[in-house]
Amino acid sequence: MKRREFITLLGGAAAMWPVAVRAQQKVPIIGFLGASTQPNWTQWTNAFVQRLRELGWIEGRNVTIEFRWAEGREERFAEIAAEFARLNVAVILTVGSAVSAAKQASSNIPIVFAIAVDPVGSGFVTSLARPSTNATGLSAQSADLAGKRIEILRELFPSLSRLAVIANLDYAASMLEVGEVEAAARKLGVKVEMLEIRRAADIVPAFEALKKGAQALYVCASALVNANISRINILALGAHLPTIHPFREYLASGGFMSYGANNAELFRRSADFVDKILRGTKDIPVEQPTKFDLVVNLTVAKALGLEMPPTLLARADEVIE
């Protein structure tokens, strides 16, 4: 072979190397385990995907996102997590209610929880500073949140004496929150009446069994509640019960007030965790939100005939009219 022909052939082969390398590179897969329904998570999903794009991860180009929706059915968590393990995803993004199932499916695949009530108490991580497991993310835990929500209700109802609480008793984080609600209520002399649910079919009977005299309804978040929040709000309105929620998104279907972290921001921040994991970072500390928003739905207040204290409205971060 002549030298010129050899150089031309070598140059042509070199030009093909990047193509060959790109063909051999495996595009990482993010397993997105949605605990509720796709419509209920639209704002959170969009925040996550948008932040990924800002960090250079473009779906369909250099990353694949496999979305799965459990629709509030906890038995689906294990099925979806097992599927992600078979797909050998690079990371699983989910929320606290599905973390245990994800950890059982794989001890090697990194897990990022966008929201978890008590990741240490639930056993997801060893500590916030050093998770020392395959899970990390954002903790929405704040020991005095339950007390502050009840104080907000007391400002609206100075004579508050009976508070209904709806919670999924099969969800450990909800039971922790129920304990905090009961402790805070005792200090204020407020009696708590539980609406116990474990599946969607329990919601209507729970309201039917509610005794007369409850002045408000405290809603504990869970995948089951998220998937059925419209039904819960409609039943509460029918029972003339103003509701207080942990998430602003729960007000869109007729919720009255919310006090808690901005979940869209938590999902946005969770993309930074995923980015670090995809780039090789390990044992990332769990973060906690530093700001909590009070949101009031004046449309619901008017429907319930409630007079809102000016001081409460002045403190609200957002008023829906």
Please work out, in degrees rounded to the nearest 5, the angle formed at the alpha carbon of residue 132 by the alpha carbons of 127 and 134. 115
How far is residue 216's CA from residue 153's CA, in Å, rounded to a whole number? Answer: 8
Q: What is the DSSP string of 156-223?
A: H-TT--EEEEEEETT-HHHHHHHHHHHHHHHHTT-EEEEEEESSGGGHHHHHHTPPTT--EEEE---H
Model pLDDT, residue 142: 60
Q: Return the number of other C-beta atoms located less than 10 Å from residue 68's C-beta.
A: 18
How far is residue 151's CA from residue 169's CA, in Å, rounded to a whole number? Answer: 24
Helix axes 145-156, 172-187, angle to 10 degrees: 50
Burial letters 51-63, b for 16+ CB under 10 A, else e: bbeebebeeeeeb
- Report CA-CA distances (Å) from 270 to 67, 72, 158, 169: 16, 21, 39, 27
Contact 111, 98 (CB under 8 A): no
Domains of the chain: 25-140+263-278 (3.40.50.2300), 145-260+293-320 (3.40.50.2300)
How far is residue 31's CA from residue 183's CA, in Å, rounded to a whole number? Answer: 38
Model pLDDT, residue 14: 41
Consecutive 10-residue averages of pLDDT for the chain (321 residues): 44 41 69 94 96 97 97 93 97 95 96 91 91 93 80 93 95 89 94 96 96 94 92 96 94 96 94 97 92 95 94 94 90
Give the predicted TM-score (pTM) of the model: 0.82
Phi (first) and psi of residue 228, to 5 degrees: -125, 25
How far is residue 278's CA from residue 21's CA, in Å, rounded to a whole number? Answer: 19
SS (H, E, C) 210-235: CCCCCCEEEECCCHHHHHCHHHHHHH
Model pLDDT, residue 248: 93
Q: Return the number of other C-beta atoms located less than 10 Å from residue 127's C-beta.
A: 11
Side chain identity, residue 114: A
User: What are the structure tokens assigned to 167, written together?
Assistant: 């919670």
Model pLDDT, residue 143: 55
How far is residue 293's CA from residue 285's CA, in Å, rounded to a whole number? Answer: 24
How far is residue 75's CA from residue 82's CA, in Å, rounded to a whole number? Answer: 12
